[in-house]
Amino acid sequence: MGLLPLYFLFLFLSVSSGEISNFVGVNYGQLGNNLPSPKQSVKLVQSLGAKRVKIYDANPGILDAFKDTNIQVSMMVPNELIINISNSQKLADSWVESNVVPFYPKTKIRYLLVGNEVISGSPKEIWPRIVPAMRKIRNSLKTHSLNKIKVATSMAMDMLESSFPPSNGTFRSDIADPIVKPLLQFLNRTKSFYFLDVYPYFAWANDPKSINLDYALFESRNITYTDPDSRLTYTNLFDQMVDSVVFAMKRLGYPDVRIFIAETGWPNAGDIDQIGANIYNAATYNRNIVKKLTAKPAIGTPARPGWVIPSLIFALYNENQKPGPGTERHFGLLNPNGSYVYGIDLSGKTPVSDFEPLPKPDNNEPYKGKIWCVAARRANATALSAALSYACSQGNTTCDPIQPGKQCFKPDSLYWHASYAFSSYWSQFKKAGGSCYFNGLATQTAKDPSFGRCKFPSVTL
């Protein structure tokens, strides 16, 4: 073989490298009280055709279960340890010795993430400590000759101040220079990845009138968007979102830092007020994203054509203990009993025609009407009582009608009192971010729970 020009040689090495492969994996969350064991989960991960897995901690049982499987593993230093590790090489050494060394290389640990969406959900004092902690973790890995393990951290789209058009992608002014620039410098120098969480679902659900659903699901045949500045043409929302980060990195002087999709997916169910969360859309999105990401030759994005994008789908299971809106508990490819929510093959080898037909979506349009928030049946009485007290403690006469002698008072009926309190609380505080969840003790209903003279407050959409 004749000598290849340096550019083509680099491209060949990049694409053929096992580290920068176009395998699709899955995020293995554990926020459920009914999930299969780690050993069972490994078999399920393999049955999905996943070649990568990411866990959100350093669970020894899970790391041990992935030994000798040849599945690439990403593990995580929890957010709450970042400050201490950033201040102590000794603590970083101890963490690596306890959580990485005993499992490597039989467990194919390839990425060590220092924190998960730290900017999105952790106190500001942790933010500037991310990169110093990453440096110390990397020093520890080098000390143990664990040079194949890349160090990174995962970030959400809320790192951006502007994302539209993609060519206008800009990191937030409060974090661009003090936080993001040192991070990109570290990733560039160590040839690591910018781990990015990308959810077209949330972008579409926040503005379904302006964004076409098929465009978000990779289903559009004749809908395109041309960036007025870059002149790049987009055929799906995912590429737009990823390229906005590419342009933001370029603005800070790091145009070539590689991107790893740490999370992407679509919810298979949700609350009544959550548009488009259904099995049909979830299966369509995930099948299409897998097809795109596993294509050979690699497709990349308009700003980075032909680039391989390593990726992980969120998530392995529907996790019943995840807090927040209903969608949070319904991103799983699998039910907790191990059954498939819908047919999917993360290797991208199974034709869509081989899968069972999907149920037609019934909530692709916004719900219009009243919704109430009531106590879940069979909820734990002690926990329900505590949640009732919390809802009533928020003031604004939330619970006045369930006081003795008032129109909604039912002696010895914790369920009805809690239901009224939850509905009353939610109707008052939804716009301020209040949710109908109460640690899993509440659920939405479109059926009016009012009785007699007792009228339950509702949210009207």
Task: Give the CATH number of the domain where residue 338 resides.
Answer: 3.20.20.80
Please give the pLDDT value at position 339: 96
Give the end of a domain, one of 330, 354, 378: 354
Of 247, 104, 246, nearest in space to 168 by CA: 247
359 part of a folded domain = no
Cα–Cα distance for residue pair 112/108, rounded to 1 Å: 11
Residues 383 and 267 placed together within one structural domain of the fold: no
Sorting pLDDT into bands at 50, 70 and 90, what band is 12?
Answer: very low
Cα–Cα distance for residue pair 232/225, rounded to 1 Å: 8
299 part of a folded domain = yes
Using one digit for the tens of pLDDT, what is the confidence trace for 153-202? 999 999 999 999 999 999 999 999 999 999 999 999 999 999 999 999 99
Give the end of a domain, one of 354, 380, 411: 354
Please give the pLDDT value at position 221: 87
Sorting pLDDT into bands at 50, 70 and 90, what band is 255?
Answer: very high
Please give the pLDDT value at position 77: 97
Candidate list 263, 328, 356, 365, residue with the active-site label: 263
Give the end of a domain, one of 301, 322, 354: 354
100 part of a folded domain = yes
59 part of a folded domain = yes
Domain count, the chain: 2
The answer to whether 356 is a known catalytic residue is: no
Residue 129 · residue 83 · CB < 8 Å: yes
Residues 331 and 303 placed together within one structural domain of the fold: yes
* Domain range enclosing 407: 370-460
- Give the pLDDT mean for 124-136: 97
Q: Residues 169-176: contacts with CB within 8 Å, 24+ apart?
A: 169/243, 169/244, 169/245, 169/246, 169/247, 169/248, 169/251, 170/247, 170/248, 170/251, 171/248, 171/251, 171/252, 175/119, 175/127, 176/252
Whole-structure pTM value: 0.90
180 part of a folded domain = yes
Q: What is the DSSP letter of 196?
A: E
Candidate list 19, 80, 97, 117, residue with the active-site label: 117
Decide: residue 409, CB within 10 A, 0-12 exposed, 13-18 middle, 19+ buried.
Answer: middle
- Give the pLDDT mean for 335-349: 96
Sorting pLDDT into bands at 50, 70 and 90, what band is 15?
Answer: very low
Instruction: Considering only residues 217 and 3, tell me which one the structure prediction assigns the higher pLDDT.
Output: 217
| pLDDT surpassing 70 at residue 46 | yes
363 part of a folded domain = no
283 part of a folded domain = yes
Residues 248 and 277 placed together within one structural domain of the fold: yes
| pLDDT surpassing 50 at residue 4 | no
Residues 337 and 408 placed together within one structural domain of the fold: no
Cα–Cα distance for residue pair 308/32, rounded to 1 Å: 33
378 part of a folded domain = yes
The answer to whether 19 is a known catalytic residue is: no
Residues 322 and 420 placed together within one structural domain of the fold: no
